[in-house]
């Protein structure tokens, strides 16, 4: 696909417009003050059709993020869910990434956002593996960032807000410049938080650990899915504050996210994790995750919304 014009349509406040015409004013509130909330959702093609992964949970989180910022979305959740499905089908995509974004639009500038309209758009495109195909098997190299996650009383981490990603970008740029694939950020108290666009898990002695919501993380929908899969496979998942060195000493470490799916981590700060490749528990969870989205095993958690193709 070409970013100049992929020939597709973007949903903007109830209407479909051509990808090239899906524009907003440079004087929109969001451009100046970062006032947006968004979602990232995947749609998977499998032998039963094309299915959106955890559609309702993503729509709920979009509305929750908007609620935190007092943005009143002038649509019902059901309208947005239907618009998401339609945006995929009108673009005739079978397997894609979906990006709904709600933002403060064009009316007047000034920090006070309350007079600006609340607009919503939905775009879809094909997006392969987030950190590379090879990473899914061999793992990525990550480094702890000198930039911390947002402190609890500064900006709300549970809102998936565009502005949060200024913090994430600092960490991502630093990681790339230091030769890593991705960053891991510590929370304000120095405990492990999350990646620039992923939640993190570690495995020690067959027990799985992940930071709690109080470590300034996004309440990841893949994180939640992985916890269900792990429990179903008989593993205990403990949500607790994780000191940095516990990651170094883990048997396995992996990232989760819509874009990243389940991506193993083979080193942190140049320290080899476990055997230096994807570990057996990460592999089992990854394989179960893909079996579900690829329709190879039953959708026992009811995570898939099939499209009308
Ligand atoms: N933490 C952060 C900071 C984050 O951005 C994501 C998703 C997650 C955790 C995982 O959440 P979930 O997708 O619900 O499992 N990051 C999105 C944006 C990535 C991007 O580069 O843009 C995503 O994966 O869609």
Whole-number Å distance, alpha carbon 261 to ligand 1 midpoint, is 9
Answer yes or no: do 158 and 57 share one domain. no
Q: Alpha carbon 50 to chain centroid distance?
A: 20
Examine the residue annotation and report whether 160 is marked as an active-site residue of this protein.
Answer: yes
Q: Are 69 and 38 in contact (CB under 8 A)?
A: no
Whole-number Å distance, alpha carbon 263 to ligand 1 midpoint, is 13
Going by alpha carbons, the residue nearest to atom 2 of ligand 1 is: 197
Answer yes or no: do 68 and 214 share one domain. no
Q: What is the mean pLDDT of residues 161-165?
A: 98
Question: What pLDDT does 3 receive?
Answer: 75
Going by alpha carbons, the residue nearest to atom 3 of ligand 1 is: 197
Q: Are 181 and 140 in contact (CB under 8 A)?
A: yes
Q: Are 152 and 110 in contact (CB under 8 A)?
A: no
Q: At what angle do helices 280-293 and 221-232 cross, to 10 degrees?
A: 110
In a domain, 305, yes or no: no
Q: Supply the mean pLDDT for the chain.
A: 97
Q: What is the CATH number of the domain that holds 21?
A: 3.30.470.10
Whole-number Å distance, alpha carbon 216 to ligand 1 midpoint, is 14
Answer yes or no: do 278 and 160 share one domain. yes
pLDDT band at residue 1 under the 50/70/90 scheme: low
* Model pLDDT for residues 22-65, shown as the tens digit of each residue: 999 999 999 999 999 999 999 999 999 999 999 999 999 999 99
In a domain, 298, yes or no: no
Q: Checking DSSP bridges between strand 271-272 and strand 261-268, what pairing results, if any?
A: antiparallel
Answer yes or no: do 88 and 161 share one domain. no
Answer yes or no: do 163 and 217 share one domain. yes
* E-strand stretches of the chain: 9-12, 15-18, 36-38, 41-46, 49-53, 96-104, 118-125, 140-144, 182-186, 192-195, 199-204, 207-210, 237-239, 252-257, 261-268, 271-272, 304-306
Answer yes or no: do 189 and 57 share one domain. no
In a domain, 247, yes or no: yes
Q: What is the CATH number of the domain that holds 226?
A: 3.20.10.10
Whole-number Å distance, alpha carbon 79 to ligand 1 midpoint, is 23
CA-CA-CA-CA torsion sign (11, 15, 16, 18): negative
Between CA 57 and CA 64 the distance in angstroms is 10
Answer yes or no: do 206 and 69 share one domain. no
Answer yes or no: do 286 and 141 share one domain. yes
In a domain, 300, yes or no: no
Answer yes or no: do 211 and 81 share one domain. no
Q: Checking DSSP bridges between strand 118-125 and strand 252-257, what pairing results, if any?
A: unpaired
Q: Are 79 and 122 in contact (CB under 8 A)?
A: no
Residue 258 Cβ < 6 Å to ligand 1 = yes
Q: Give the domain extent around 251.
A: 135-293
Between CA 189 and CA 17 the distance in angstroms is 46
pLDDT band at residue 7 under the 50/70/90 scheme: confident
Residue 222 Cβ < 6 Å to ligand 1 = yes
Answer yes or no: do 106 and 146 share one domain. no
* Model pLDDT for residues 295-309, shown as the tens digit of each residue: 999 999 999 999 998
pLDDT band at residue 2 under the 50/70/90 scheme: low
- The catalytically annotated residue of 160, 204, 277, 296 is 160
Question: What pLDDT does 62 receive?
Answer: 99
Answer yes or no: do 86 and 206 share one domain. no
In a domain, 304, yes or no: no
* Model pLDDT for residues 201-257, shown as the tens digit of each residue: 999 999 999 999 999 999 999 999 999 999 999 999 999 999 999 999 999 999 999
Which residues, including other chains, have CB under 8 Å from residue 41's CB and lie 6 or more apart? 52, 53, 54, 55, 58, 84, 97, 98, 99, 100, 258
Between CA 93 and CA 151 the distance in angstroms is 39
* Model pLDDT for residues 93-143, shown as the tens digit of each residue: 999 999 999 999 999 999 999 999 999 999 999 998 999 999 999 999 999
In a domain, 146, yes or no: yes
Q: Are 164 and 157 in contact (CB under 8 A)?
A: yes
In a domain, 256, yes or no: yes
* Final residue before a domain boundary, out of 125, 146, 177: 125
Residue 182 Cβ < 6 Å to ligand 1 = no
Q: How many domains does the chain have?
A: 2
Cβ neighbour number for residue 185 with a 10 Å cutoff: 26
Question: What pLDDT does 234 receive?
Answer: 98
Answer yes or no: do 175 and 218 share one domain. yes
In a domain, 306, yes or no: no
Percent of the chain having pLDDT more than 70?
99
């Amino acid at each position: 696909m070409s970013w100049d014009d992929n020939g597709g349509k973007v949903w903007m406040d109830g209407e479909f417009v051509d990808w090239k015409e899906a524009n907003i004013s440079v004087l929109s509130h969001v451009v100046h003050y970062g006032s947006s909330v968004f979602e990232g959702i995947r749609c998977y093609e499998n032998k039963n059709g094309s299915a959106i992964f955890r559609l309702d949970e993503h729509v709920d989180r979009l509305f929750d993020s908007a609620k935190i910022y007092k943005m009143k979305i002038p649509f019902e959740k059901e309208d947005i869910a239907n618009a998401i499905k339609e945006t995929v089908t009108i673009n005739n995509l079978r397997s894609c990434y979906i990006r709904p974004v709600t933002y403060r639009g064009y009316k007047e500038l000034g920090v006070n956002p309350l007079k600006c309209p609340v607009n919503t758009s939905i775009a879809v495109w094909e997006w392969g593996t987030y950190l590379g195909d090879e990473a899914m098997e061999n793992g990525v190299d990550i480094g702890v960032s000198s930039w911390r996650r947002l402190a609890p009383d500064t900006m709300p981490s549970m809102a998936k807000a565009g502005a949060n990603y200024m913090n994430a970008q600092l960490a991502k740029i630093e990681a790339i410049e230091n030769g890593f694939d991705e960053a891991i950020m510590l929370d304000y108290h120095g405990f492990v938080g999350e990646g620039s666009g992923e939640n993190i898990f570690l495995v020690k002695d067959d027990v799985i650990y992940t930071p709690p919501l109080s470590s300034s993380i996004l309440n990841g929908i893949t994180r939640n899915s992985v916890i269900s899969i792990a429990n179903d496979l008989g593993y205990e998942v403990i949500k607790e504050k994780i000191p940095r060195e516990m990651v170094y000493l883990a048997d396995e470490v992996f990232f989760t996210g819509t874009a990243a799916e389940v991506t193993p981590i083979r080193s942190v700060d140049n320290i080899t994790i476990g055997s230096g490749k994807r570990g057996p528990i990460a592999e089992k969870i990854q394989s179960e995750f893909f079996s579900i989205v690829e329709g190879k095993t039953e959708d026992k958690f009811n995570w898939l919304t099939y499209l009308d193709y």
